[in-house]
Copies of this chain bind each other. A is one copy, B any other.
Amino acid sequence: MSTDVLELALLRRLAAGFRRSPLQLNAHQESDAELVRLPGHHGVLALTTDGLAEEIETGLYDDPYRIGWMAVLVNASDLAAVGAEPIGILITETLPSGLSDDFLARLQAGIADACKACHLPVLGGDTNFAARLQLGGTAVGWISDGQAVTRRGAAPGDRLYASGPLGAGSAFAFMQLRARAGAPARVPPYQPQPRLREGRLVRHYASCAMDTSDGALATLDQLARINGVGFTMAEPEERWLHADAAAVAAAAKLPTWMLLAGPHGEFELIFTVPPGRESEFLAAAAAEAWAPVALGVATAALEIRVPRGAELVTLDTGRIRNLFTVSGSDPGRYLEELWQEDRRCATAPAGEVTS
């Protein structure tokens, strides 16, 4: 459908020599958390491991409380995407010598608060000492009836939803990196909330689900590849664009689709619901005082279509996923590449696949 994703090719290559487990339910890359049946049980374990390295190294996260919070949240988000009950988390800390007591205390407070918010008690972990700070975790969840939702299962016509408004991850990253570069910038707040409760509801109705840890467009691209469908975000952007993203787009004169493009996500869930189950799903969500955000629809055409001004344009989301790598992780060059994509999609005839 669109350009190959460099990262996926590397991950496939790294995993090529590894044996798979007969107990594992999901194929490679087809679930946010690994799903493993325990011998002789109906229940399924959900396991995920995720860490922060680039986010710290680039200065995107420089506040120790945020680093601690996010190390937990990124893992909780993967459990949410499969609809698991949280069991606990293991925390891995690589600490440079010479961290101040205050920095360390705020780091640990961020971890502790996120664990409380996510109902993920700290089961244990590993502490190392090295030149650079790194933080990661492994979260464990449990699905007692074994019925997880994965990235696979969407069909054309399924309704496309998000657990909350989109674009806050890119809005934060754009302003934070601008501020770090010394430019005047009002950095919006950024503290994604756990979507575990929403995920447990979603799994009973959704045909597929995935979190937006790498940004909304990367999620749509990945779900499209796995399911052999496209997505059209036909709903007006006022309904799904986060207020901070709208403000950053206006202030920096960016097309709003760029706020879905950045590799720093907002940690919402994106999922599809078969049309026959939509009203039942919305009623169940309303009963929990949750209003899912409608985005659009899954299509038979293998395209990702998003609003650009008054039009719907087709984006080469595979190419967009590669841009941060291709531009050597340089924010300025990355933005130039996005503008190039903007010109490309604006001039492409409607409905044409761009590569």
Which among B38, B49, B122, B129 is the interface contact of A142 at CB below 8 angstroms? B38
By a beta-carbon cutoff of 8 Å, the part of chain A in contact with chain B is 10-11, 14-21, 23-24, 28, 34, 36, 38-41, 43, 45, 47-51, 53-54, 57, 85, 87-88, 90, 92-94, 104, 108-109, 111-112, 115-116, 121-132, 134, 136, 138, 140, 142, 144
Given known contacts A57-B131, A138-B138, A49 and B125 CB-to-CB distance under 8 angstroms: yes
Cα distance A93–B92 when bound, in Å? 13
Docked pose: A316 CA to B298 CA in angstroms:
68
Contacts of A88 in B (CB 8 A): 21, 23-24, 34, 36, 47
Given the interface contacts A54-B130, A88-B21, does A144 sit within 8 Å of B39 by beta carbon? yes
Q: Which one of B10, B15, B23 lies within 8 Å of A87 (CB-CB)?
A: B23
- List 6 additional contacts besides A19-B121, A19-B122; criterion CB under 8 Å: A19-B115, A34-B90, A38-B87, A41-B43, A48-B124, A53-B129
* Residue with the greatest number of chain B CB neighbours at <10 A, chosen from A88, A134, A138: A138
**Once the chains are docked, how many angstroms separate the CA of A104 from the CA of B197?**
40
Q: Would A140 and B45 count as touching, CB distance under 8 A? A: yes
Contact A92/B142 with A17-B109, A18-B121 known, Cβ cut-off 8 Å: no
Chain copies in the assembly? 2
* CA gap between A36 and B141 in the complex, in Å: 12
Chain B proximity of A29: nearest CB distance (Å): 9
CB atoms of B124 and A34 under 8 A apart: yes
Given contacts A43-B38, A57-B130, A94-B134, whether A14 and B108 have CB atoms under 8 Å apart is: yes
Identity of the chain B residue whose Cβ is nearest the Cβ of A101 in the assembled complex: B13
List B contacts of A15 (CB < 8 A): 122
Please list 17 pairs of residues, one from A and one from B, whose beta carbons are closer than 8 Å in the complex, sorted by A's number.
Answer: A10-B127, A14-B108, A17-B108, A18-B108, A18-B112, A34-B88, A36-B140, A38-B38, A47-B90, A47-B123, A47-B140, A49-B125, A49-B126, A50-B126, A51-B128, A57-B130, A92-B92
